[in-house]
Amino acid sequence: MTHPPVPLWRQLQATAGVLAMVRAGQSGTAALTAVEPALRPGVQALSFQAWRQLGRAEALRRQLARRAPPPEVDALLCTALALCWEPAQAPYEVFTLVNQAVEAAKHGAGTRAQSGFINACLRRFLRERDALVAATDRDPVARWNHPRWWIDRLRKDHPTHWQSILAANNTPAPLTLRVNERKLPLAQYQRSLGAMNIEANQVGEQALALVRARAVPDLPGFADGQFSVQDAAAQLAAPLLLRGLEAPGRLRVLDACAAPGGKTAHLLELADADVTALDIDPARCDRIHDTLSRLGLTARVLAADAGRPADWWDGMPFDAILLDAPCTASGIVRRHPDVRWLRRESDVAQLAATQAHLLATLWPLLRPGGRLLYCTCSVFRDEGDTQIQTFVAHNTEAFLLPSPGHLMPQTGANANPVPDNPQSDHDGFFYALLEKRTPPPQAQPGP
């Protein structure tokens, strides 16, 4: 049985609803989950484009209406402007988008009375587009489609890279796979993709990036656990922590903030180890179980607060600890374009305090000679380099091993941040590998 196509006005109406929810503090993922299934694929595509152009859309709306209209009206108007302001990038013909946005307004309980206002604004935009766009070009938020505080922080943190970071954030991310080499070699899986005319390039030791994205369940071997979806930068974590690490017996590894389980699984794919995976949210722990089950892997999964070891630690030191700390997610904006509009400037300091607490709390759980890998999917220095330099300065046992440091989205901070990845097509991350060493005795003062 075939279903009639969903009218565009309904998709625009739902997209505006998603935008309103994000503005109210809901994550884009949760907002999209609330959309009825028949609408969801189209609404997700439209929402991603609207988030990537929201700064420009809001600046244009201020040109068209100095006083902000009611939230539902503003969300629909800004959605339409975000999608149609640049005709070359519009998902539909611009006049069609305008007509369907007005139609959406007529069908909405909160927008029906303002449909004439929306129509007038959008028709004026069509008539005066060039002048209105030129008037917003001077606004950095419109130019870069990020909050002003975010732009200012990047300029301070990365004075030679800030523009490329912002530009990368507004591009779609590739679909990158991590091949489970406990199941089959990467080259063999690449041939399986080729047999289905799916082109993929190797971008890491176990990483393949698809030239064109495909529905993940439709890829060969998904149900059998032959691969996982994981960005090339995130795939650095497990090899960094494990490579060259020796232990007197079977490795004891802690993944301290593990959900949804991608890095936990990678650790188990690379090493025969006893892995404890923590997450504070029981529902997210279910996702860890699901991830490991599909891949045929086993770990000790606990719903617990990593910052309260007395509640879950058995007193036996760990050989290795992976601390993928909660952060602003400022490095994965191209995958989650709503993040920039959800975060507030004050979040950076609050999250940095949480990161410092976790570092200080978990470090005593590491055996002498063991390693702790601190990482965040952030490009802000307060969550990366500054955090680690402060920790090392206050912990004489902490020795910083060669580490990638800050990786910028698509334009790695180091010469070759991801092996075999000349395009450096990866998310923004920070990595610092710490080894616990006994400090040398201090020289005693002479007589």
Q: Over the stretch 17-72, which tens digit does the pLDDT of each residue have?
A: 999 999 999 999 999 999 999 999 999 999 999 999 999 999 999 999 989 999 99
| CATH classification of the domain holding 202 | 3.30.70.1170
pLDDT for 247 equals 82
- Of 308, 305, 267, which is closest to residue 284 (Cα–Cα)? 305
pLDDT for 425 equals 80
Catalytic one among 121, 257, 375, 377? 377
Residues 223 and 268 in one domain: no
- Of 146, 173, 174, which is closest to residue 55 (Cα–Cα)? 146
pLDDT for 446 equals 56
The answer to the question of residue 369 being in a domain is: yes
Residues 110 and 201 in one domain: no
Sign of the C-alpha dihedral computed for residues 318, 264, 374 and 434 taken in this order: positive
pLDDT for 418 equals 39
pLDDT for 420 equals 36
Residues 115 and 188 in one domain: no
The answer to the question of residue 3 being in a domain is: no
Q: Which one of 145, 162, 184 terminates a domain?
A: 145
Residues 209 and 271 in one domain: no
Residues 133 and 258 in one domain: no
The answer to the question of residue 128 being in a domain is: yes
Residue 121 annotated to the active site: no
Give the E-state strand segments of 144-215 in sequence order.
176-179, 200-202, 207-210
Sign of the C-alpha dihedral computed for residues 165, 170, 171 and 175 taken in this order: positive
Q: Which one of 99, 125, 145 terminates a domain?
A: 145
pLDDT for 263 equals 97
Contact indicator for 328, 146 with CB cutoff of 8 Å: no
The answer to the question of residue 312 being in a domain is: yes
pLDDT for 14 equals 98
Enclosing domain of residue 305: 244-436
Residues 213 and 308 in one domain: no
Residue 397: CB partners within 8 Å, gap ≥ 6?
A: 363, 368, 436, 437, 438, 439
Q: Which one of 124, 145, 166 terminates a domain?
A: 145
Residues 60 and 26 in one domain: yes
Residue 376 CA, chain-centre distance (Å), reads 10
pLDDT for 249 equals 85
Residue 316 CA, chain-centre distance (Å), reads 33
Residues 190 and 299 in one domain: no
pLDDT for 410 equals 63
| CATH classification of the domain holding 17 | 1.10.940.10
Residues 374 and 404 in one domain: yes
Does the pTM exceed 0.75? yes
- 128 vs 141: CA distance, rounded Å: 21
Residues 115 and 248 in one domain: no
- Structural domain count of the chain: 3
Residues 180 and 222 in one domain: yes
CB burial of residue 84 (10 Å; 0-12, 13-18, 19+)? buried
Name the stretches of the chain with pLDDT < 50: 1-2, 411-423
The answer to the question of residue 197 being in a domain is: yes
Residues 181 and 125 in one domain: no
